[in-house]
Chain A
Amino acid sequence: MRSTILVTGAYGQLGRALIHSLGKSGHDIIGLDRLPGDNNQFIQCDLLDDDLDDLANRKWDVVVHLAGDISDPQLSREAINSVLPTNVLATIRLLHAIRNCATQVIFASSISVYGNEGVPVPYRENQPLHPNSLYGSSKAAAEKYLSYHDLFAKTCVLRIAQVVGPGTPDYIAPIRMVQAAKNGENIPLFCTDATVRDYIHVDDVVKAITSAIRLQVSGVFNVGSGKPTKLAHLASHITQLAGVRLEQTHPVPKVPECAMWMSIERARKYLFFEPTWTIERFVEEEIRGA
């Protein structure tokens, strides 16, 4: 069935990949972003400041809300004034606009809603949320607001692990390590064996979103690799691939020494989701492609 799909955050990492993939499926895809667009299947709009009547006067089979601030700033007045409006108020305004004209809403949330200190792993969808960052708490708050929208549409929350792939910022640990290896530099070991993370390739996230659209599901789903990645292992894997050495840094590890990874059993069961990439394959391709 041909569907009309609105994708907010169209120029973000996920937005670009999703629109590219959906474009091949024969749906009507409308992208929305603050930045100006390059075709007529595009709405330039600031969800915080602009009038959203145009969105309210159309019929949307699916609205995929990816727009948001992914920076993770320290708690400060400035951060509150930027992250909360962008991640919470923009969501409220969007949902209000499409209240009576959208059948399904898919919201890109984050693994950060679970928090990390003293939280049991792997994270499961029904455990209490203890976000430990302003970013995580803004995503949790937007999720809570979205639960109100259940009255008006099918709502689907995807809690996404750290995304890697084209467009991932350089400060993300595997990218940083790959960059160092590519430059022939030794890799600083800035973590211990206890540092565990969850990485997912952007293509796999796109698969999860398209499944959620195709199956018209509602509910909360973790979208991650489904396995823990020890950063220290990944670092030594990269040194072997690139023929560089590990270099013990001191004094202190720069990343929290905690384990963060999610169970993806729910996504497996209801979205038939199975990641096709691994972080090892990703770093291999990055280094070989150098």
Chain B
Amino acid sequence: MKILITGSSGQLGGSLCHCLTERNEDVVGLSRSLGRCKDLLGISAFRHIPIDLDDPNPKLGQVIDNGPYDAAIFLAASVSRESDSNGNQSGFNVNVKGHAQLLEALGQNVKQVIYGSSVTVYGFQTQQPVGEDCQTFPRSDYAATRLAGECILEFICRKRGINWVALRIAQVYGPNSPDHLVLYKFLKHTFSGKTPVISVEPQTKRHYLHLEDYLNGMLAVLGLSGHGVFNLAGPEAVSLRELALQAMKSAKMEGEPIVDESQPGYSLEYSTKALENATGFRPQISIKTGLQMEAKRLYGPHINDRAP
């Protein structure tokens, strides 16, 4: 298969480029800089095209010349800059217009589009777990432009008869994840001998997705025909208390986490049933296993292997 991936320099795009080149697929990565794909240079199955989708008129000729593509996977995203005095222009440019221009330029030279959207489009929900047909309540410029992008790109795909998948991806953890995630804060605390602190109501749930499950979810939708919107999240959501206790267990720390209920919390739990029904894919890495993997990866020397 020949696959185009935007945002190839980032965590999600970069890891997917690695995964697909290892599987001997032809990969064309699109991003401003090489980023996480530096080590793929020289591998014949991989080609990088430097393009900034924030550019008002990106030069797309080289992308078209390298086609046609079996799939285009859109993972380039502009992270919110809410402080911009005139709105987050690059959020619109990248998440909406840049990809629309790219898709338009590709014409019939692509069979499928997979759009990396985000579960943040749902915002707060009273009903959990959240299914794809729930009304969306984006709470950030990022989420709102992702949602706007879904609208425009789905339309272009429908008009052109291109297969379409919007994947609403949960917070990914695993190698190269941002260390501000509460899961990493807990691990950092416990492995430096400090009791983790939960600053919201401790039964508040978080729903993560391990990088490996993310990659397998992507592979599952690759080549899917028709149009669909699917959540992609881990096997289960986890309460912050449970997450803190697991982090303590990894570091062989006894007791209970400190609870400082200064902020109200809201639970996030997403249903992945629709994805399973369409593809048979089920996420495999429980948060317990995933946290152990991360503890071992980050603090390996301090941790003994446990029997499963």
Interface residues of A (CB under 8 A from B): 51-53, 75-77, 80-81, 84-85, 88-89, 92-93, 95-97, 128-134, 136-138, 140-142, 144-145, 147-148, 150-151
Contacts and interface: CB of A to CB of B under 8 A. Distances in A.
Contacts of A128: 133
21 contacts: A51-B86, A77-B104, A80-B97, A84-B97, A84-B100, A89-B92, A92-B141, A92-B144, A93-B86, A93-B87, A96-B87, A129-B151, A131-B151, A131-B155, A132-B158, A137-B151, A140-B151, A144-B148, A144-B150, A145-B138, A145-B144
Contacts of B104: 75-77, 80
A140 B138 CA distance: 14
B86 A96 contact: yes
B158 A150 contact: no
B159 interface: yes
Top 6 nearest A-B pairs (CB, nearest first) are: A96-B87, A137-B155, A148-B144, A141-B148, A141-B151, A93-B87
B96 interface: yes
B163 interface: no
B89 A89 contact: yes
A141 B158 contact: no
Contacts of B152: 84, 88, 137-138, 141
Contacts of A96: 84, 86-88, 141
A81 B88 contact: no
Given A75-B159, A137-B155, A147 B85 contact: no
A148 B80 CA distance: 13
A133 to B, nearest CB: 8
A132 to B, nearest CB: 7
Contacts of B216: none
B297 interface: no
A144 B86 CA distance: 19
B139 interface: yes
Contacts of B97: 80-81, 84-85, 88-89
A163 B151 CA distance: 24
Question: Contact size class for B?
Answer: 35 or more
B148 to A, nearest CB: 4
Interface string B129-156: 0000100111111011101111110111
B108 to A, nearest CB: 13
A184 to B, nearest CB: 40
B155 A134 contact: yes
B105 interface: yes
Given A77-B101, A80-B100, A136-B155, 15 more contacts: A51-B86, A84-B152, A85-B97, A88-B148, A89-B92, A89-B96, A93-B86, A96-B88, A137-B151, A141-B149, A141-B151, A144-B147, A145-B144, A145-B145, A148-B141
B18 to A, nearest CB: 32
A279 to B, nearest CB: 28
Contacts of B147: 141, 144-145, 147
Interface core residue of B85, B86, B91, B101 (most chain A CB under 10 Å): B86
* Dominant SS among interface residues on chain A: helix
B87 A95 contact: yes
A258 to B, nearest CB: 15
Given A89-B92, A138-B152, A77 B105 contact: yes
A133 B155 CA distance: 7
Contacts of A93: 86-87, 89
Contacts of B148: 88, 141-142, 144-145
A151 B151 contact: no
A246 to B, nearest CB: 33
B92 A92 contact: yes
B79 to A, nearest CB: 16
B101 A80 contact: yes
Contacts of B159: 75, 132
Nearest to A139: B151
Given A84-B100, A89-B89, A147 B155 contact: no
A142 to B, nearest CB: 7
Interface core residue of B89, B137, B140, B144 (most chain A CB under 10 Å): B144
A52 B155 contact: no
Interface string B82-118: 0011111101100011001100110000000000000
Nearest to B160: A75
A77 B107 CA distance: 11
B87 to A, nearest CB: 3
Nearest to A79: B104
Given A75-B159, A88-B96, A88-B148, A97 B86 contact: yes
Contacts of A89: 87, 89, 92, 96-97
A157 to B, nearest CB: 13
B164 to A, nearest CB: 12
Contacts of B100: 80, 84
Given A75-B159, A81-B101, A137-B155, A147 B87 contact: no
A154 to B, nearest CB: 15
A122 to B, nearest CB: 20
Nearest to B85: A53
Contacts of B138: 144-145, 147-148
Contact of A144 (B87, B88, B144): B144
Given A84-B100, A137-B152, A97 B87 contact: yes
B261 to A, nearest CB: 23
A76 B160 CA distance: 12
Interface core residue of A51, A53, A77 (most chain B CB under 10 Å): A77
